[in-house]
Amino acid sequence: MESTFKWRDEWLLGIPTLDNQHQKLADCLHRLVTECTRLHGQNGNDNGSENDTETREALMKLLDELCARTRAHFSIEEDMMLAANYPRYADHRREHVMLLAELTSTFAAPIKDGRCNMNPEILGALKSWFIVHVAHSDRQFANWLKRDIHTAAAHDPTGGSDNVLSLNDNRD
């Protein structure tokens, strides 16, 4: 269960900014799942430690970090899409809105209530939320962006550098 969110190089997109952020998101998810798994093992049930304020605060700190990193990542990714005139921007942004809503309703609400219900269904949702989004939607964008950069460079005597956002934008 704990290894679900350890970073895998197969998730690399070849865009350093996004890859760096994805690695940090995977690490944050891993720490959250690990803590919930640890609590589940201590309590022998799916409710976590309902009366333990310290536990709830620790989980909320991890969740707050995950939410903040996710919002920042989505913002940077959407800025990159707009700068590159990505034709699927609206669909991708809509997916971001839905993922943030799912993150809040599925994960934040139970943890705020002091529960840490990491059953197989919740873990499956977490896995889908991250891995499927990166492997499918973000990979689509990365592949399109890399193709677009190469096409622009082939038709621009300056190498296309003035036409697109740098793949090495190091915002975090």
Query: Percent of the chain, pLDDT > 90?
Result: 37
Using CB atoms within 10 A of its CB, is residue 136 exposed (0-12), middle (13-18) or buried (19+)? exposed
pLDDT-based confidence at residue 30 (cuts at 50, 70, 90): confident
Amino acid of residue 88: R
Mean pLDDT of the chain: 77
Q: pLDDT tens for residues 46-59?
A: 444 444 677 777 87
Q: What is the mean pLDDT of residues 56-80?
A: 90
> Nearest to residue 138, comparing CAs of 44, 31, 10?
10
What is the distance, to the nearest Å, from the Cα of residue 103 to the centroid of all Cα atoms in its chain? 10
Query: CA-CA distances (angstroms) from residue 92 to 3, 77, 139?
Result: 27, 10, 11
For residue 89, what pLDDT band results from cuts at 50, 70 and 90?
A: very high
Return the domain boundaries, the chain. 26-149
Average pLDDT over residues 10-25: 94
Task: Give me the pLDDT at residue 88, please.
Answer: 95
**What's the pLDDT at 51?**
47
Measure CA 119 to chain center.
20
CB atoms within 10 A of CB 68: 11
Q: Which fold has domain 26-149?
A: Four Helix Bundle (Hemerythrin (Met), subunit A) (1.20.120)
pLDDT per residue over 137-157, tens digit each? 999 999 999 887 766 544 444
Q: Contacts from 39-47 at CB under 8 Å and sequence distance 24+?
A: 39/116, 40/116, 40/118, 46/115, 46/116, 46/117, 46/118, 46/119, 47/114, 47/115, 47/116, 47/117
Whole-number pLDDT of residue 43:
52
- Residue 73: strand, helix, or coil: helix
Considering only residues 145 and 40, tell me which one the structure prediction assigns the higher pLDDT. 145
Q: What is the pLDDT of residues 98-138, one digit of tens each?
A: 999 888 777 777 766 666 666 656 766 777 788 889 999 99
Q: Give the pLDDT of residue 114.
A: 64
